Amino acid sequence: MAGTDEMLKDPTPTTTTDISDSENCTEKEYLMKYRDIMHGTTELPGDFDTWTAQEQYDWKYRIIMKFTLNIPNSLRDMVPAIMTPINSNICQEELPEWMDIDKYRRAQKFVSEHYLSIVLTNLLSLVYSFTFDDGLKGFILGGHTHTPYLAFKRYLITVKRMLVWYDGDPWVKGTKAYREMKITHEKHLALTRKLALASEEQIDAALKIENPWCPERELFRKDFAALCPFAKIDQRPYKLMKYIPYTIKPKSINNADMSVVQGMLVVVPILYPQYIGLHNITDEDLESFCYMWRCYGYFLGVEDK
């Protein structure tokens, strides 16, 4: 492929704006500079559509990483995930080659023996995922969340749906677990279509909730800022991604969105099991629980990478 290697090695922007001196910028100034640079790189190579998906992702990845050099290594894999939509053509009845039924059954046993702890994990994970802008965006755009009661109903439906997955085999057609998994995947695809048809201005307008009823909002903001100081802006890819043009980042639910939510669903049992009543559990128990969520991710269109 003529010229591809050169483009991958040197995706040079068409602007002279410099963001290397992030230490002397306010967060707003840095984001504006970053936006200017990214919108100077929106022109795709002429034969871009003929490249393989991997070549396209590599090209986009290198452009973004050129301007986000301070992102921690642990978060770098999230960059290509942000640019990769979920798989809309997944066949739920077809199991992946790596599927291990025995490990899945062990996870089911683990969940059944620690049911209350897992329910608590599900509730906490929803709150954690909303600390990311894109995680909260999908929840708001899905509708029926603009009052505490409606949000509570949405939480309850989501948790009940997960409990059905835990008790069943989502790949067996005709079962309740299969049906609930399919409903979830279809809801994700419907939201993706909604995002694709809307302009950036329409999306921003839809995300605004007039007069939200949340008396503790400012108190929460102060507490979070005091207890969890933010990293530097150029170390937070989820903040920078808002300014990437849609020629590079598609408007859709992507693999990063799904990975963050899945990570939240397993992180508490792994890091703080004693806080949610999980005692005398083994590494094999936790591994099987993570494996269970890997299976669910596959059925919901998440890439294996």
pLDDT of residue 3: 39
* pLDDT tens by residue, 184-232: 999 888 888 887 787 777 777 777 777 777 777 788 778 877 776 665 6
Q: Report whether 60 contacts 45 (CB < 8 A).
A: no
Predicted structure pTM score? 0.75
CA dihedral 183, 257, 92, 185 (to 10 degrees): 10
Residues in the chain: 305
φ, ψ of residue 254 to 5 degrees: the values are -115, 180
Vertex 240, ends 27 and 38: CA angle to 5°?
Answer: 105
Please give the radius of gyration of the chain, using alpha carbons only, rounded to the nearest integer.
21
What span, in angstroms and rounded, lies between the C-alpha atoms of 187 and 90? 14
Of 34-48, 137-151, 280-294, highest mean pLDDT: 280-294
What span, in angstroms and rounded, lies between the C-alpha atoms of 122 and 282? 20
Read off the tokens for 198.
């809307």
**Domains in the chain: boundaries:** 27-300
pLDDT of residue 245: 57
Lowest mean pLDDT segment, chosen from 35-49, 104-118, 124-138: 35-49
Encoded amino acid at 101, one letter: I
What span, in angstroms and rounded, lies between the C-alpha atoms of 170 and 188? 17
Encoded amino acid at 90, one letter: I
